[in-house]
Structure 1
Amino acid sequence: MISDDNLSSMIKQSKMIYEDKAKSDIKEALSNYTDLSPKLKYHHFPDNSRRNAVCLSGTIPVTYRGSKYHIPIALYLTENHPYSPPYTYVTPTSNMKIKVSEHVNEEGRIFLPYLNEWRFPAYDTVGLLGVLTFAFQEKCPVFQVKNSTSSQPPATSSNPPYPVGSNSRTPYPIGHPSFPTPSNPPYPTPNSDTGYRAPYQPYTNVPAPPVPPPPQHSYASSIRASLITAIEERIANRLKQKLGKVIDDSQRLDVCINEMRLGQKMLRDFNDKADRDQRDLDLQLAVYKERKQELEESLEKYSQRSANADNDDIDTCIEPVTPLHRQIFENYAIDLTMDDLIYHLTDALKRRVISLQLFLTYVRQFSRKKFVAIVTMNKGRERAGLPQITE
């Protein structure tokens, strides 16, 4: 068992971010799987990065077809461990070959739903090792390469043909003696040239023991949930492919219906606005006709008065009601008169009819009169309750 100081040193050298959680997760995995040991290795990750990483390498015990084997694996932990899943590989020895399956590729990398759905702390390294054990019980990831010496008949022994216990380990499955060995055997057979050998020689004509049921462990619920999730995703993808066109057509129809409803609302708004404008025009037309009738009546009366009168004086037509209104009217007339005089003086100066000195003299006088007239007129309008007139 590695010491805490050495493990902490490895974690620091690999630049892990969550040192305490990573250390706790690694120690728990090592305590449950004593054949694994941590090492600091320089690894080429799938994202083309190369760096030092903590590697848990060794074997895990797997019961395959009634016999216990030890499968060599290696777990490369990332910088974000344990919040990111490790890169997991099967590491066969020289006398082994990888058996490619849906879980293991030709390079030995392991792919499981457990890795894709990794969520710490619900998913950790101990749980991953348990899932690997369960997966390898159904499909062994390695098999032994047949050598020339494997054709030699093994010596008989009084030991049982299937290894058990910690002192009889094989890192790969051993073929059953009661079955013939094919040319490419899916399971390893014992021989003297391999680095791993069966500690017991099989009896001849010994019947194979019954296959025990798969062990129940604490990670069965996690594996079951992971498999259910993968199946649900596949079903959802197939349904989406089959119903995709229908869904797209339905969405397009929904968009068209929304646009038609929006257009209908706009047409109703335009119609309501046109009705309001029509009512306003009718009202204005009625007022216009009324004013036109009043004006015609006033013109007719004035025409009759003009026919009876000899001379029409414009001043007699505009007669203020009160002296105050007369004063306002007279001052307003003076204001306009001064504006006209100043305009004509300016025009005369431009045409050089008068001199500049004479122009300034008259402008000063007329401006003073204009100012007095404006002040007097506004004062009278204030007394009369009329708005002020400003320049």
Structure 2
Amino acid sequence: MVDPARLKMWLNKYQNPDATYRDITNAVNHYQGLQPQQETYTFVDGTTMDLVNLTGTIPVTYKGSVYNIPICIWLIDTHPKNAPICYVKPTPDMSVKVSMYVDQNGKIYLPYLHDWIPNASDLIGLIQVMVVTFGEQPPVFAKPKNDMMHMPKPSYGAPYPMQTPPYPPSTGFTGGYPPPYPPNTGNSFPTSFPPYPNTPFPPFPPTSNFGSSIPEKGPIGTGTIRDEHIRESLLTAIEEKLVRRMKEQFLQNQAELQTLKRTQDELKQGKTKLDALLIKLEKEQKDLDKNITLLKDKEQELNTAIEKIGNQESIDVDDAVTTTAPLYKQLLNAFAEEAAHEDAIYYMGEALRCGVIDLDIFLKQVRTLSRKQFMLRALMQKCRQKAGLAI
């Protein structure tokens, strides 16, 4: 296990160093065949960056036996926001088995990587998907030693496809693979891998990948390309073409599925909004019904009051305003007289404006009315003060 302080130092330039550190620690604790290290990764455009990777093996069960598959997982500096870049790293005596999940360069393609969810997907989940997927379609197969030493490769670069189970389990793998070459560069794998543990291969199957027996024609190891070699190479080319088409169809179907999923999410959001709107309308309908009932009750009360008033005798206005005490009567009379003086002054002004009276008469009468109005207002103030009313 790498020193935690060194790992944290490697992650200093990452955008989410704490989350990346936790993800790496959890992964290596569950899969002890993987070890973190920092190396330089070269991207397709030629740019380089010092990145942390997990290199080693993961245990894969194939046909009842457990095999250790060598892989390398590169964590880009935005991890865990973006998916890592993964490769199968075969040793020199192994070959990549091209499938819809692994290309000829060993790069791994999985739905889990394609549908990577920031802050939800993690390395443990990714490795578990690899274990299940490689248990059904092994990403590597062992090269026969004689063919590996003497057999020339076909002109178009496809390896001789002796289909065997994946590489056997290791007994002491310690990692140390060099970083992968950039994607799609076409370079061959380096030959500086440490030797894989000396564990025997499972026996080679008696038939090829297509079920036909391979006849033994001519001496083995002569360097001569036999008819069955050409046939196997052609079958491999056809298989790779079919795999590419299947992969294209798979990606197309996956894109259509994502479109349908987005449409489904939008429909669900629309349904949620409509449900909320319906609940709001139902509440407003209940409030409206309640207000209508309340208004009907008030209308009934008003009709009852109108009918009751209509059955009563007429009321004398003067009797209706009779005061209960002499002080209140004095206050009422002073208020009425002051209001009369106010009206008189107003109409005196109108008479002057219309020329009915001259200015001397207007001034004389206004002084007299104003003096009386002042005395009445002073009387009203005293009465209100005596009665304890607001002044």
Structure showing greater relative contact order (alpha-carbon pairs closer than 8 Å, 6 or more residues apart): 2
TM-score using structure 1 length: 0.49
Larger radius of gyration: 1
